[in-house]
Chain A
Amino acid sequence: MSEPLLEVRALGCERDHRRLFENISFAASAGEVVQLAGPNGSGKTTLLRFLAGISQAFEGEILWRGRDINAAAIDYRGQMLFLGHAPAVTLNLTALENLQWYFALNQQVSRASLCAALADVGLAGYEEVPAYRMSAGQQRRIALARLRVSQVPLWILDEPFTAIDRAGVVELEGLLAEHAARGGMVILTTHHPLNLDTPYRRIELEGANAG
């Protein structure tokens, strides 16, 4: 067993005078897929926002390679990809321009590999089409094309299967397994039953505790 990359210690959170979750601890190593499960309102998205460093309103510690993620923020952000509810696809930009901006900030890539990634997610021929002319599923696929190019070890995905068709779900599952196989780590929330080749872990969030 290798050294855990991500360590969560005694994480707790209070929202509007009630405990959302309490005392969540887990560690994950390279090559692991972790699914956060639980009913609506159990705090899955909130936990992901803590893990991504978006929000810091929690108790406990989150460590990446042994360092607090918010203390070494810039370094951590360079190793993490977050895909949230809002997919950060700008409607007035074309599929390719959307990816070009994202990777201008995150990773040096060639235009050819971005086009290849778009073809991989089924958007070949849509490179120069503005996103507002595409369906919700296709817009979502532009965001997922980032996963095909990105080299970062940690993926944090909030409901990545939203608006994706059945073939797309299978492709995405394959991508997650592939990422784990080459030593990456995936943390995701989904209500969809995962069908992965690699073993994955489920962490259950109980839902709201009274008091």
Chain B
Amino acid sequence: MLAEEQIPGALQACRGTFKRDLLLAMRRSGDIVNPLVFALIVVTLFPLGIGPEKSTLTAIAPGLVWVVALLACLLSVDRVFRDDYLDGTLQQMLLSPQPSYFLVLAKVTVHWLVSGLAVTLVAPLLALMLSLAGGGYLPLLVSLLLGTVSLSMIGAIGAALTVGLKRGGVLVALIVLPLYVPVLIFGAGAVEAGCQGLPYSGHLAILAALTLMALVLAPLAIGGALRINMDD
């Protein structure tokens, strides 16, 4: 019979889940490419729609890049738990002798790697297409790096709440968007300040605080929401 010490530690379970999800993400590479293509299309269309004057584009660039990054994350977050829910994996995850906190953290981290981090890495290109002012690039990178973590965490709460619904997409957006607003305000604010040569460390500090809070609290909410959906 099973001895107590044969049950893997939380770290090992966390690593196993991380590895599994990363493998799945790599195999469904469309999941990674889609948010990026979406962001590129939107940013390409904007100069065509509102005219190529450099001054107009420069003025809207900080907010626009941030909004596009936010929507790209929102589009992909709906699917974080969907497939696992349908094939029973989620049920097995919640029935394992592991605290769901770390397993959820591993899953959302993988989602961040293939959405938030990917969008952050192409953001300089997007900014270039919108001729962002030179001082805005560093705050753009740092604010997206911090901000997309909270976007993934908050988005996953919405995804967990609606995982049992056939069409959760719009509902996720409704639940999550109000919570996205502070992240957007401080993220875009940091870039704006950087463009005007003003100090932006205050914006980044608040963004970092929001992200830390999301990292600590969101997995609890996600775990609870998933358990409710398991018991339907």
A residues near B (Cβ < 8 Å) are 52-57, 74-75, 77-80, 82, 84-93, 97, 100-108, 150-153, 182-184
Contacts and interface: CB of A to CB of B under 8 A. Distances in A.
A91 B89 CA distance: 11
A83 to B, nearest CB: 9
A153 B87 contact: no
Nearest to A82: B95
Interface stretch (B7-15, B43-51, B118-126, B213-221): B7-15
Chain B, interface SS category: helix
Nearest to A131: B87
B88 A74 contact: no
A84 B88 contact: yes
A7 B8 CA distance: 28
Given A102-B92, A104-B8, A153-B1, A86 B87 contact: yes
Chain B interface size range = 35 or more
B8 A93 contact: no
A15 B144 CA distance: 48
Nearest to B28: A92
Contacts of A85: 88
Contacts of B93: 105
Given A87-B87, A105-B8, 7 more contacts: A54-B231, A79-B2, A82-B95, A90-B20, A93-B20, A101-B17, A104-B20
A151 B1 contact: yes
A108 B97 CA distance: 12
A105 B15 CA distance: 10
B91 interface: yes
Interface in B1-60: 1-4, 6-8, 12-13, 15-17, 19-20, 23-24, 27-28
Contacts of A53: 95
